[in-house]
Chains A and B, each alone.
Chain A
Amino acid sequence: MLIVRIEPREFDTTSTQGARAHLRVLGLAAVVPLLVSLLLGGLIFLSNGIPPLHGLHAFFIAPLSDRLGLTELLVKAAPLALIACGLLFVFRANVWNIGAEGQFILGAIGATGTALFLVPQDSPFCLPALFLGGVIAGAAWAGVVAWLRAHLRVNEILCSLMLVYVAQLLLHWLVQSPWRDPQGYNFPETALFESSLMLPILVERTRLHLGVLFVVPAVALTWLLLNRSLFGLAISVAGRAPRAARFAGFSQKRIIWMTLLVSGGFAGLAGAVEVVGLTGQLVPRISPGYGFTAIIVAFLGGLHPLGVVAAALLVALTYLGGEAAQVTTQLPYAAAGIFQGLLLFSVLAFGFFSRHRVRFTRAVQRPAGQVLQASANLPANPSANSSTNPRVDL
């Protein structure tokens, strides 16, 4: 009888040999799930009557073949990276903010509201004020979740998610009734901003705007806060060992508040950048689901700020691919979700295979009377699992 055994991997990373073996395993664990994802994606193309290689080419390579495609990649990666930077704080603290989409929308609303009603047009402070408006609105939306979670002990997964739908409806109401452009031929959009309230375009005849560069300081700030500050330490301890955090005197409530406010602020900033840099007005479809996709980006980037940048570029490519495939292969835009879902599954598979070894062994015939323990996953290292154990209390 064939038995599948799952054993923890152990590497002696102090020796060069061990370190090399570790790297090799990490590489394999990363590449194999990605290849499987591509294979599955190809199969889905095939089942829709599209040659798999043609489909994958249209999805992942064709969009990058010209200058416009490359700049669009950056334009789409920027909001993802910004939101994901914020999500690093909550996820590392084991706080499950799934509602970044709503905070992004509120950021867009906040920036637009500031532009429409609060800012005198010729002030030099008007642009920063727009971003501030977005950050505050996004943080406030996440602050509702923080209040519910920290003081009323409501599950943050559900309430942050419910607030996404509320934010979307709020946006629809604003663009259809009170903020609709009176000269807009009844389209549900606000009036276009003055050009002084827009970010400059970096490359002629593309949509690459200055806001994309916001990612650089955002990533640096995130790295500093997470890896070089007491706040970052408190977050990591609270996420990995809540009891230890309590003994160390880190207030759980404070960590929930701070991480959610930071994460909402980042998502709000991304929403403001989208409005101020790209659309120049509030439109009903301001986000193609950036807030949800950023969750994938955060995990794909290994919950590390630099990893997030690479992951944002990769995931942005699925958006571009979705748009391109819509034209060349007649697949719906939502097909991007297939690759995004597969990517997230790949990350989870990576997390497993980089820490565990799967072995197929033949069962040893033992003398009668001795109990043979045959289970799908017998020996495991309980400590290797503790970091992946989320705290979920519904």
Chain B
Amino acid sequence: MLEISWLAIALTIAAASTPLLLAAAGELVVERAGVLNLGLEGMMLMGAVIGFIVKVESGSWFVACLAAACVGALFSQAFAFFVLTLRANQVAAGLALTILGGGLAAVLGAGYVGVSLAPMPRIPVVGSELHPWLGLLEHSPLFWLGLLVVVGVQWFLFHSRAGLVLRAVGDSHDSAHALGYSVLKVRALAIAFGGAMAGLGGAYLSLVHTPLWSEGMTAGRGWIALALVVFAFWRPWRLLFGTFFFASVTILEIYAQGFSLAVPPQFFAMLPYLATIAILVFLSSAYWRGRSDAPAALGKTFAPPY
């Protein structure tokens, strides 16, 4: 039986890491293009609510996920308009997006609170009845999509020409502009991709993780995804370790309750947040700082010269 319970833990970790992986992979691309989008939480909530509503109304998982991604991308363009066209402060615009998204999602989903869904079916694995460990491979399609996105982003950023342009824009927008690349267009597309991934991450929460809608159901995952990008040093591969670590810390709370430890559950719930801080401290040491790959133009407003 021990084996089965470890299996359950591994499955929960995988399940808890998917929304973080999706949102962080999107944000990583955005930051590689030199834009800091603090609106992840808002975009995730929009994706969560739209995905849920579309699933309830249309019944199709695929359409629901597609709608969530589209809404995330569309919503992120409000942010893009403000930071790119109106050259607004990225921190303030991102916060506005988070607050607006939270409110909008609450209003949209008001009629759907308390509605429940069957969770998204997992992709079955042939022969999973032979050995319980094969069951480890049974996940919702979004889980596999998350892994695919990481691979795709890694390939795109470091093995494609367009990715090279994107990184150039993020490292020195003036040079990229001088070379004739449209800085604003590249950034707008990157922000749209980040929005779509955040929307999908949100949809994972409302369709797979806890198949229902409730206000503020992301519970700070958007912010943790932001920290994960730092944790990964802006390298997609390392997101896998980061999300695995954070998801393990998150589910500790659930299992700690099962073991009826003397520590109050709230303290276990604090762990992901405290761990984020601890890791940020660790990574900010001089040794790691020198190895960091932070985009040089991150957070800087681009105003094209004459």
Asked if chains A and B come from one complex, the reply is yes
Contacts of B87 in A (CB 8 A): 352, 385, 388
- Interface status of A1 (Cβ within 8 A of chain B): no
- Interface status of A224 (Cβ within 8 A of chain B): no
A158 to B38, CA, bound (A): 10
Smallest CB-CB separation from A355: which chain B residue?
B87
The distance from the CB of A149 to the nearest CB of chain B, in whole angstroms, is: 10
Stretch in contact with the other chain, from B12-20, B54-62, B96-104, B190-198: B96-104
A337 touches B304 (CB 8 A): no
B90 touches A390 (CB 8 A): yes
Interface of A is mostly: helix
B106 touches A170 (CB 8 A): no
Stretch in contact with the other chain, from B145-153, B157-165, B235-243, B266-274: B266-274
Interface of B is mostly: helix
The distance from the CB of A120 to the nearest CB of chain B, in whole angstroms, is: 30
A334 with B89: in contact, given A154-B277, A375-B304 (CB under 8 Å)?
A: no
Smallest CB-CB separation from B79: which chain A residue?
A345
- Interface status of A364 (Cβ within 8 A of chain B): no
B303 touches A380 (CB 8 A): yes
Q: B71-91: which residues lie under 8 A (CB-CB) from chain A?
A: 78, 82, 85-91
The distance from the CB of B91 to the nearest CB of chain A, in whole angstroms, is: 5
- Interface status of A299 (Cβ within 8 A of chain B): yes
Q: A165-193: which residues lie under 8 A (CB-CB) from chain B?
A: 165-166, 169-170, 172-173, 176-177
Contacts of B264 in A (CB 8 A): 173, 176-177
A392 with B299: in contact, given A155-B280, A332-B215 (CB under 8 Å)?
A: yes
- Interface status of B290 (Cβ within 8 A of chain A): no
Instruction: Count residues of B near A (Cβ-Cβ below 8 Å).
Output: 61
A98 touches B95 (CB 8 A): yes
- Interface status of A348 (Cβ within 8 A of chain B): yes
A340 touches B99 (CB 8 A): yes
A214 to B268, CA, bound (A): 37
Contacts of B274 in A (CB 8 A): 162, 166
A333 to B38, CA, bound (A): 23
B298 touches A394 (CB 8 A): yes
A159 to B300, CA, bound (A): 21
- Interface status of A382 (Cβ within 8 A of chain B): yes
Chain A CB count within 10 A is highest, among B96, B106, B280, for B96
A96 to B90, CA, bound (A): 12
- Interface status of B24 (Cβ within 8 A of chain A): no
A295 with B95: in contact, given A159-B280, A345-B82, A380-B304 (CB under 8 Å)?
A: yes
- Interface status of A210 (Cβ within 8 A of chain B): no
Q: Mark B248-292, 1 if CB is under 8 A from A, else 0.
A: 000000000000000010110110011011001100110001000
- Interface status of B9 (Cβ within 8 A of chain A): no
Stretch in contact with the other chain, from B127-135, B203-211, B220-228: B220-228
- Interface status of A249 (Cβ within 8 A of chain B): no
- Interface status of A351 (Cβ within 8 A of chain B): yes
B103 touches A341 (CB 8 A): yes
- Interface status of A379 (Cβ within 8 A of chain B): yes
A166 to B38, CA, bound (A): 19
Contacts of B303 in A (CB 8 A): 377, 380-382, 385
- Interface status of B171 (Cβ within 8 A of chain A): no
A334 touches B106 (CB 8 A): yes
Contacts of A44 in B (CB 8 A): 104, 107
A165 touches B91 (CB 8 A): no
- Interface status of B36 (Cβ within 8 A of chain A): yes
B304 touches A162 (CB 8 A): no
Contacts of B300 in A (CB 8 A): 389, 392
Top 8 A-B pairs, shortest CB-CB distance: A337-B103, A341-B100, A392-B299, A334-B106, A338-B103, A344-B96, A348-B88, A173-B266
Supply 14 A–B pairs (Cβ within 8 Å), ascending by A.
Answer: A48-B110, A165-B270, A176-B264, A332-B215, A333-B106, A334-B106, A338-B103, A341-B101, A344-B100, A349-B88, A375-B184, A378-B304, A388-B87, A392-B299
